[in-house]
Amino acid sequence: MAFINYAAREVNCKIVYYGPGLCGKTTNLQWIYEKTNPTNKGKLISLATETDRTLFFDFLPLDLGSIGSLKVRFHLYTVPGQVFYNASRKLILKGIDGVIFVADSQEARFDANLESIDNLDKNLKEQGFDLMKIPYVLQLNKRDLPSAMPADVLTKELRVKGEPVFEAVAPKGVGVYETLKECAKMVLKELRRNA
Amino acid sequence: MDLILYDEELREIQNLIDQLHVDARSKIVFVVDKNGQQIAGAGDLGSIDTTSLASLTAGNVAATDGLAKLIGEKEFSILFHEGERDNVHISIVGNRVILVVIFDDRSSLGLVRLRVKKGSQELTHIFDRIVEKTKSQPSAGLEAAFAEITDDDIDNLFS
Ligand SMILES: Nc1nc2c(ncn2[C@@H]2O[C@H](COP(=O)(O)OP(=O)(O)OP(=O)(O)O)[C@@H](O)[C@H]2O)c(=O)[nH]1
Ligand SMILES: [Mg+2]
């Protein structure tokens, strides 16, 4: 669904961060925003509640530079993770090119992760996408917490199709850029494949 | 389906909204696709963050669309936000793009409505043609642009 502006020789791709409430989606975006060179980023827009929970979405436009004669731009979005915001979550999935699933490694959130993956699968289908086919990366976040489950167990339980897995501590930036990079690469390769 | 915008159509869109900008006595006219990608703009664009404008407009329209379906409407084809100084008129064109007009008291809602109506019809024709063209020659130019891309090129984007 990438939007290709030939006149401006620009490719715009949309990547969505998905996952249960409080898993760290917004934190991923904030870190990317803080660490990106000002010339390569736009404003970070957060439509959030007074308690900093995502209400509708966060949005960050990133300029990655050029491949050959094409300018490559990524639009990063997060969804609101709280269960009752499902109607809004569906809207954010429109026109996506790739998904990063941010899992919360804490044992207490294990079921929430599974429910969220199931919810992603359903919502993607509704928008005409197939989880098994889209560029997709799994991030195991909150690796710093003592209650974090072992990474190999989480990988085994949460992986849906052998997708790349990254361990992360989003507020410290651990694994954040790596996750994005991998997903962006997958998106570009998919675009090339379909060209 | 991907939307591919070529110079020829972009120029037509630009001419059309340049005219609309003048005719509606507006500050800004802006065209965004429903996914929040900006397509073209006219008027005082330097005064505003257009990328944010595009994404928020699309979010606004998407939320309103959701609301419409919820109460059994097909869509709300026009959204209007009235401010103290500036007003925003948002309309859906040909079911796939969004036309945004920002104006102040040098114009009026009546005038903007009238001009948008006329402009929308022409925009619909242009986008119909873009869709046709994308369908009939889906990879015109695309192959050339992407074929030259190697895995290294993609890796290098991130170095
Ligand atoms: N210790 C620790 N805390 C984290 C980590 N990632 C995020 N947090 C914290 O978890 C809380 C929630 O993070 P957010 O990024 O707002 O979560 P979200 O996924 O956007 O939540 P919703 O918007 O409700 O869907 C914040 O207080 C973060 O600082 C992590 O890796 N380790
Ligand atoms: Mg959030």
Q: Could you tell me the CATH number of the domain that includes residue B116?
A: 3.30.450.30
Residue B138: predicted pLDDT: 58
For residue A179, pLDDT beyond 70: yes
Is A55 close to ligand 1, i.e. is its CB under 6 Å away?
Answer: no
In terms of CA atoms, which chain B residue is nearest residue A186? B154
Ligand index nearest the alpha carbon of residue A167: 1
**What residue type is B15 in one-letter code?**
N
Q: What's the total number of domains in chain B?
A: 1
- Among B16, B74, B10, B66, residue whose Cα is nearest residue B37: B10
CATH number at residue A62: 3.40.50.300
Q: What's the whole-number mean pLDDT along residues A88-106?
A: 95
Average pLDDT over residues A8-23: 91
CA–CA gap between residue B130 and residue B118 (Å, rounded): 19
Indicate whether B140 pLDDT > 60: no
Q: How many CA atoms lie within 13 A of A16 on its CB side?
A: 24
B34 lies in some domain: yes
Strand ranges (E), A68-194: 70-78, 98-104, 136-141, 165-167
Residue with the larger pLDDT of the pair A192 and B122: B122
Are the CB atoms for A110 and A135 separated by under 8 Å?
A: no
A46 CB near ligand 1 (under 6 Å): no
Range 133-162 of A in CB contact (< 8 A) with B: none
User: For residue A118, how many other CB atoms are within 10 A of its CB?
Assistant: 11
For position B40, what pLDDT does the model report? 93
User: A17 with A93: CB under 8 angstroms?
Assistant: no
Tell me whether residue B142 is in a domain. yes
For residue B69, count other CB atoms closer than 10 A to its CB: 12
The pLDDT of B115-137, averaged and rounded, is 89
Please, what's the largest Cα pairwise distance for chain B?
55
Q: Using one digit for the tens of pLDDT, what is the confidence trace for B24-81?
A: 999 999 999 888 888 999 999 998 988 889 888 988 998 898 889 889 998 888 899 9
CB contact under 8 A, A65 and B153: no
Answer whether residue B14 shows pLDDT above 60: yes
| B139 pLDDT above the threshold of 80 | no
Point out the ligand 1 atom lying closest to the alpha carbon of residue A24: 15
The whole-number average pLDDT for the span A91-105 is 95
Domain count, chain A: 1
**Is A64's CB within 8 Å of B33's CB?**
no
For residues A78-99, give the mean pLDDT: 93
For residue B130, name the pLDDT band (cuts at 50, 70, 90).
confident
| Cβ–Cβ gap A67/B153 under 8 Å | yes
Whether A89 is in the pocket of ligand 1, judged by its Cβ within 6 Å, is: no
Domain that holds residue A127: 3-194
B32: its two tokens:
């965004």
Confidence bin at A29 (pLDDT 50/70/90): very high
- Which residue in this structure is represented by tokens 């934190």? A27
Mean of the per-residue pLDDT values for chain A? 93
The percent of chain A in helix, strand and coil, each rounded to the nearest 5, is 40, 30, 30
What domain range is B109 assigned to? Answer: 24-158
Q: Give the other-Cβ count within 10 Å of A141's Cβ.
A: 30
B126 or B7, greater pLDDT: B126
> Could you tell me the pLDDT band of residue B145, with boundaries at 50, 70 and 90?
low
Q: Taking 60 as the threshold, does the pLDDT of residue B1 lie above it? A: no
Tell whether ligand 1 has an atom less than 6 A from the beta carbon of residue A185: no
Predicted pLDDT at B136: 79
pLDDT (tens digit, 9 = 90+) per residue, A109-146?
A: 999 999 999 999 999 999 999 999 999 999 999 999 99
Q: Which of B40, B80, B31, B42 is nearest to B60 (CA)?
A: B80
Q: Lowest mean pLDDT: which of A50-54, B2-6, B67-71?
A: B2-6
Chain A contact for B67 (CB, 8 A cutoff): no
Which atom of ligand 1 is nearest the CA belonging to A48?
23
Average pLDDT for chain B: 88
Q: What mean pLDDT comes out for the span A173-188? A: 95
Q: H-type helices in chain B, by residue range? A: 7-23, 50-70, 109-136, 142-147, 151-156
Name the residue with higher pLDDT: B140 or A8.
A8
pLDDT for the residue A1:
46
Is B13 a domain residue? Answer: no
pLDDT of residue A68: 77
What is the C-alpha separation between A173 and A181, in angstroms, rounded?
A: 13
**Is residue A186 within a helix (H) or strand (E), and if so which, with residue range?**
helix A176-194
The C-alpha torsion from B96 through B102 and B107 to B110, rounded to 10°, is 30
Which one of A1, A6, A86 would you mutate to disrupt binding with B, by most B Cβ within 10 Å of its Cβ?
A: A6
Ligand 1 pocket test: which of A17, A23, A46, A101 has the largest number of ligand atoms within 8 Å of its C-beta?
Answer: A23
| Residue B132: predicted pLDDT | 86
Q: Are A103 and A131 in contact (CB under 8 A)?
A: no
CA within 13 Å, CB half, A149: 18
The CB of A169 under 6 Å from ligand 1? The reply is yes
Give which of A32, A14, A24 is closest to A140, Cα–Cα: A24
Which pLDDT does position B7 carry in this prediction?
85
Q: Report whether B3 contacts A4 (CB < 8 A).
A: yes
- Please say whether the beta carbons of A68 and B144 come within 8 A: no
Q: A70 — phi, psi (to 5°)?
A: -105, 130
CB B43 within 8 A of CB B107: no
Can you read off the two tokens belonging to residue A23? 């898993």
